[in-house]
A and B are shown apart, each in its own frame.
Chain A
Amino acid sequence: MKFGQEYQRVLATQDFPEQWRESAIEYKHLKKCIKKIHQELQSLGLDADTLRQMSEWVGESQAEQNDSKGYYSAATPSLASVPEEFTPQLRVLVDKRTGMPLDATLAPDTKSALQKLAKHEMMSAGRRDYLGASTPSNHAVRKSSVVGDTMEGTIMEAEDARWVQVPLASAKDFFDLLEPKLQDLEILRTAETEKLEEDILDLGDAVENVVQPVREGYEATRKLSYRDLYFWREMFRLYTENPIFYSGTESRRGALTFNEAKSRLQAYDAQLREIGLLEKMKTPQAKRAAQQFLDLNVNILRIMHFQEMNARAMTKILKKFDKRTHLEGQLFLKNLRTKYPALLTNSGKQSQMQSAGGFANSIARDLSAEIATKVLAIVPQPEDWDCPVCYSMAWRPVSLGCCRSVFCIRCIIKLQDEGMKRCPVCNQESVMKADGRNIDFEAMDFLQKYFPMETKKRQKENEKAALVRDYGEGFVKSGCAMQ
């Protein structure tokens, strides 16, 4: 099969660490397993046709009676209690005394084979009962109406029918092989996420060191650090503008697929090269930190790739399992999702949007958030300081005291001139009370340090706006002698 080959090739060619490779799902092996199950079923006389017939029949009876679990199915442990071990079982409705399967459409050979299995199970179940260990009894006896309605010519008393679960040895092998792998993958996810989170913290420290804003009394070093600050800002702005692993826009929210993330990272890298940002950085520490940042992204991409391939392998192999055996392997997947919440991070819209699968999804989400809070936040972007009214930098910053919003002084003056009493953000009547004391000096200090160029420009705009307000538009027209 094509996927099997692709899977093997990716595992072989990508430079995944040896330890990862050991955790990888053994796709080929599982495929062989399915073959074996298929053979076992066939030896019971349960070929695809028979099974399908049975399952169609299940559909009918389910329509008639909601609580009916159907006549055969893989064991469906209730999802509220996740079992330690998932054992696929064939459930057959049989005559209580003889153990004869009640499905009249089954071939005689199949019937007797199932009968043998069922009898054996009933005996051991009986022993368990005797010992006081309770076997699940909720589906031991079914209402006769279902039996009578759905089976031609077989009229049975309710007490005479009973459900017997027949374990399938080879199917158990399949899940025994798959289950530990998922455990491995989950452990790997946790470990790698932790490792990368540490890397992110380190990187945060490194960036903090090289992006020191201008401080008073350090005029001599001013030029150097202040230029690097702007380079870092540009670098992070481009990064947030086109997120690589996780998209948070209204129309599209969720982890991107490996291929998408890869091409986005490549595009980002190309963008940085084109502007020559890395070369422009002044200090070797800054260059090193920038390299560290890019390496981190490559590492995240790599674990995403690995986990995504495994997620695909799992989905494919379970699909194959369903198709070939007609036992309900998807239920196994449901169980897994309860057991490993990290697997279930996609919203219901999965089908409409391409999104990273399995553990790759939560890795992308968690680490994107880490990078945003621990690294990107170190370099403030001017947008973070936009005045909510004019969308320019809130300079000079004014806090009205009613909420935490910061406005620029011109907008507050305008609001007062217009007689708009209420705070634009929180709607409290705080505007008219504002005066010089509402200037937020702490924010002013911060803005001056981190945005020396922007604040200077805004200062000029403000002065001009003040003149317009006091003396009229003509006063500041270009060409005016007063300029």
Chain B
Amino acid sequence: MTAPLPKRIIKETERLQTEPVPGISAQPHDDNARYFDVMVQGPDGSCYEGGVFSLELFLPDDYPMTPPRIRFLTRIYHPNIDRLGRICLDVLKNNWSPALQIRTILLSIQALLGAPNPEDPLNEAVAKQWKENQGEAIKTAREWTKLYAQPKQ
């Protein structure tokens, strides 16, 4: 890619570094400034509490006219996140607006961890369990968090 980085991406990246959102970090790759390594902490009080989840985020050429592409790399038990880590979130699809940004999207994802929505499932099996036996589902989510989402020492 030879096209210069748009001013918007430069500014967003800068602000993510100088004023990071608590519990969230996004680091661009040295060789591709449109590709970010993301880390999101599970929200306190949720079944993902204590977990540190890594995600990958990519800004397509026509960003911000199209939303960033983003998926979980860490395995997670959640009705709106499938086995490939893809996320079902309105602002990443139909409700994207160019006035949204990396920062706000990551906050939305963190909020999604705090409020799983089994009525609009991406992962049918998990959503089913969530609806039929919520206690068990939450327990599994906690176990998975312990199993896969522990911060690297």
Q: Which residues from chain A contact B20 at a C-beta distance below 8 Å? A: 250-251
B8 engages A390 (CB within 8 Å): yes
B97 within 8 A of A: yes
Least Cβ distance of A419 to chain B in Å?
10
- Is the CB of B19 closer than 8 A to any CB of chain A? yes
Minimal Cβ-Cβ distance residue in B for A424: B99
Beyond A390-B7, A392-B7, A418-B65, whether A251 also contacts B97 by CB under 8 A is no
Distance, CA A422 to CA B98, complexed state (A): 10
- Determine if A420 is an interface residue (Cβ-Cβ < 8 Å): yes
Min Cβ gap A462→B in Å is 14
Q: State whether A415 touches B19 (Cβ < 8 A).
A: no
Measured between C-beta atoms, what is the minimum distance from B110 to chain A in Å?
A: 13
Q: Are B8 and A391 in contact (CB under 8 A)?
A: yes
- Chain B residues whose C-beta falls within 8 Å of the C-beta of A415 in the assembled complex: 65, 98
**Complex interface residues of chain B between 1 and 50 (CB less than 8 A to chain A):** 6-8, 11-12, 19-22
Inter-chain contact B7/A391, CB cutoff 8 Å: yes
* CB pair A425 B19 closer than 8 Å: no
Q: How far does the alpha carbon of A251 sit from the alpha carbon of B19 in the complex, in Å? A: 7
Residues 13-55 of A at the B interface (beta carbon under 8 Å): none
A386 to chain B, nearest CB (A): 8
| Number of B residues, CB within 8 Å of A | 16
The answer to whether B65 and A414 touch across the interface, beta carbons within 8 angstroms, is yes
B64 contacts the other chain (Cβ, under 8 Å)? yes
- What is the distance, in angstroms, from B26's C-beta to the closest C-beta of chain A? 14
Main secondary structure of the interface of B (DSSP, over half): loop
Question: In angstroms, how far is the closest chain A Cβ from the Cβ of B102?
Answer: 12
Residues of A within 8 A of B64 (CB): 389-390
- Output the nearest chain A residue to B64 by Cβ-Cβ distance: A389
Q: Which of A408-426 contact B (CB under 8 A)?
A: 411, 414-415, 418, 420, 422, 424-425
CB-defined contacts of A389 to chain B, threshold 8 Å: 8, 64, 98-99
- Min Cβ gap B33→A in Å is 15
Within 8 A of B (CB), among A234-259: 249-251
Contact digits for A317-336, partner B, Cβ 8 Å, 1 yes 0 no = 00000000000000000000
Q: Mark A385-397, 1 if CB is under 8 A from B, else 0.
A: 0001111100000
Shortest Cβ distance from A425 into B: residue: B99
| Bound form: Cα–Cα A251–B6 in Å | 27
Chain A residues lying within 8 Å of B19, measured Cβ to Cβ, are 249-251
Shortest C-beta distance, A315 to chain B (Å), equals: 28
* Chain A residues in 8 Å Cβ range of B98: 388-389, 411, 415, 420, 424
Interface pair B97/A427, CB less than 8 Å apart = yes
Which residues of chain A are within 8 angstroms of B22 by Cβ–Cβ distance? 250-251
Residues of B contacting A392 in the complex (Cβ-Cβ under 8 angstroms): 7-8
Q: In whole Å, how far is B64's beta carbon from the nearest beta carbon of chain A?
A: 6
- Bound CA–CA A400/B85 (angstroms): 38
Task: Name the B residues within 8 Å of A420 (CB-CB).
Answer: 65, 98
What's the nearest-Cβ distance from chain B to residue A481, in Å? 22
The docked-state distance in angstroms from the alpha carbon of A388 to that of B100 is: 9
Where the two chains meet, the residues of B that have a C-beta atom closer than 8 Å to any C-beta of A are 6-8, 11-12, 19-22, 62, 64-65, 97-100
Could you jot down 25 A-B contacts, CB within 8 Å? A250-B21, A250-B22, A251-B19, A251-B20, A388-B98, A388-B99, A389-B99, A390-B7, A390-B64, A391-B8, A391-B12, A392-B8, A405-B99, A411-B98, A414-B65, A415-B65, A415-B98, A418-B62, A418-B65, A420-B65, A420-B98, A422-B97, A424-B98, A424-B99, A424-B100
* Beyond A415-B98, A418-B62, 15 additional pairs, beta carbon < 8 A: A250-B20, A250-B21, A250-B22, A251-B20, A388-B98, A388-B99, A389-B8, A390-B6, A391-B11, A405-B99, A424-B97, A424-B100, A425-B97, A425-B99, A427-B97
